[in-house]
A = this chain, B = another copy of it.
């Protein structure tokens, strides 16, 4: 393992530790010292990799964990039931299981950051908006398996994402998965209703 490769590892560990801590405590509630400790390095090393300081690290966390979570959800949907409506419902059940298994910590990796920075830090706000936008592109493509109309599919995708995000808020606060399961049932009813009125021609 070359020194350059070790450096890359350290950088990745810093991003991973920051992502994990941000997800549970938010950005403002997480200090660089804690990130350094959790990743087994020093604050000085963080500044070696992220000349822009905490803001630069946070932006990278948003982008990398946003991409990772988008891929995770896409994989779950792809491996789920063949009927896309059922697959959407099953994904909420899977999200509920994962959330409970993590002690109600691992929900959306960027939602807390998004709310914290929305009115306080324009570059980070843009980064979160772009991640949500990319997720919506993928979800809309999936929803076109339910309704062929592009605009209706995007509406459905947006509704699905809002229900997932909102259910994460309620479920983490309540420390139970009823909100996620109720949202999953709602998604199935909504998607079915849209499929009935805007039949997909496949």
Which residues on the B side are within 8 Å of A179 (C-beta)? 158, 161-162
Near B by CB (< 8 A), chain A positions 15-72 give 24-26, 28-29
A165 to B173, CA, bound (A): 13
A141 at the interface (CB under 8 A from B): no
Alpha-carbon distance between A185 and B197 when the two chains are bound, in angstroms: 14
Report whether over half of chain A's contact residues are helix, strand or loop; otherwise say mixed: helix
CB-CB nearest in chain B for A108: B169
Which residues of A113-171 are within 8 A (CB) of B? 114-116, 118-120, 125, 128-129, 132-133, 154-156, 158-159, 161-167, 169-170
Q: List 14 A-B contacts (CB under 8 A).
A: A28-B116, A29-B120, A111-B169, A112-B112, A116-B116, A118-B175, A125-B175, A132-B170, A159-B163, A159-B185, A162-B165, A164-B166, A190-B193, A192-B193
Q: Which A positions have Cβ atoms within 8 angstroms of B?
A: 24-26, 28-29, 103-105, 111-112, 114-116, 118-120, 125, 128-129, 132-133, 154-156, 158-159, 161-167, 169-170, 172-175, 178-179, 182-183, 185-186, 189-190, 192-194
